[in-house]
Copies of this chain bind each other. A is one copy, B any other.
């Protein structure tokens, strides 16, 4: 009979000069008498030097090794990776695991020069490149700052079901599956549940997967992505939602700037945007500028990617802002739960960033009579939505919220050409593996 006790350190004891180390070999440079290698262990990347006579076998990329050695200062060529002019002179090295053969992708090079097919088919290997890893270190900071800022405002995190009896957005872009004799749908957004949340916790948020059965295969689309969602009440004006988003974005950008200089450098990312005051224009104002000043005519009741890019450039020139709130989208272009502003317009908004929509938000209808009328006008099935309207019947605060696409925001922030690079294992119409 034995007992298991806790530990509080992942590494063995170490003093200032002697260090026990473990890690995965990221790159190897073998000279006549000594071998240099870079080791990765979690967030740490460090250089180890060992005399070849102390090695029982040649070190190779993909091996995992452990050893002990002296920490000493050194002028490193790869200081951009290690961020420390320091290396470990190892006395002994033990190989803990070995690759079966030379990896198909060499992740030690400064650039991954492989075809798209290889890059995506061997995603678990291309991700080992420091450039790819850097994207997710920054993305995690975006998520963490979203969470911590909202918690500081009193928001409660929710985990809502992904298997649902209805799609929240309606329409055809929903995956369906058999569910114990019924049909289930994969959640396109936590919309209904976050509205319920305003009656329970008043201020709620969720970071979770959403699913869209869209046939687009573009640099802006994914069939599964991460949505940063929030919803809150009691609301006095739909502008409070946009003000909250400005505050969140500001915190996120500041935090990324504080802790990710290494990763921004590795990625050769564009300068981080300044988030102070964000210009706002109504949908109709945007359409007018597009038609009268930019010569873009389009009768659609939404903005297409070309229009978003054009108005983005216009706002950047005119107000030096990389962000733009477009407000008051037309009723016909928004879902039934959107709060009307007048006969035609709604209290809704999109946030455009560098010419691309990254957020959709707005105030929602909170009174029971009003949501019932809106469902009827939209021609939707009242009975199927009764589980939703029961919350309104029992009283909901005036409320609103938004959804921020994590991958689009990450790609925009880091100047990455497609959202696919901003997901560990992307899903599009052609890809379900790895």
Choice from B125, B133, B366, B425 contacting A390 with Cβ under 8 Å:
B125
Contact with B along A378-398 (1 / 0, CB 8 A): 000000000110111111111
Residue A44 CB within 8 A of the other chain: yes
Contacts of A24 on B, CB cut-off 8 Å? 199, 202, 233-234, 395, 397
Contacts of A424 on B, CB cut-off 8 Å? 158-161, 193
Choice from B175, B193, B236 contacting A425 with Cβ under 8 Å:
B193
Q: Is the CB of A425 within 8 A of B161?
A: yes
Contacts of A203 on B, CB cut-off 8 Å? 10, 41-42
Contacts of A236 on B, CB cut-off 8 Å? 66, 96
Most chain B beta-carbon contacts within 10 A, residue among A61, A200, A390: A200
Q: Is the CB of A133 within 8 A of B201?
A: yes
Closest residue on chain B to residue A22 by CB atoms:
B234
Contact with B along A94-137 (1 / 0, CB 8 A): 00111111011100000000000000011011011000010011
Asked, given contacts A64-B234, A103-B394, whether A239 binds B4 with beta carbons under 8 Å apart, the answer is yes
Contacts of A208 on B, CB cut-off 8 Å? 208-209
CB distance from A122 to the nearest CB of B (A): 6
Choice from B103, B163, B178 contacting A223 with Cβ under 8 Å:
B163
Residue A414 CB within 8 A of the other chain: no
In the complex, what distance in Å separates the CA atom of A99 from the CA atom of B424? 44
Asked, given contacts A4-B280, A137-B156, whether A395 binds B433 with beta carbons under 8 Å apart, the answer is no
Q: Is the CB of A62 within 8 A of B398?
A: no
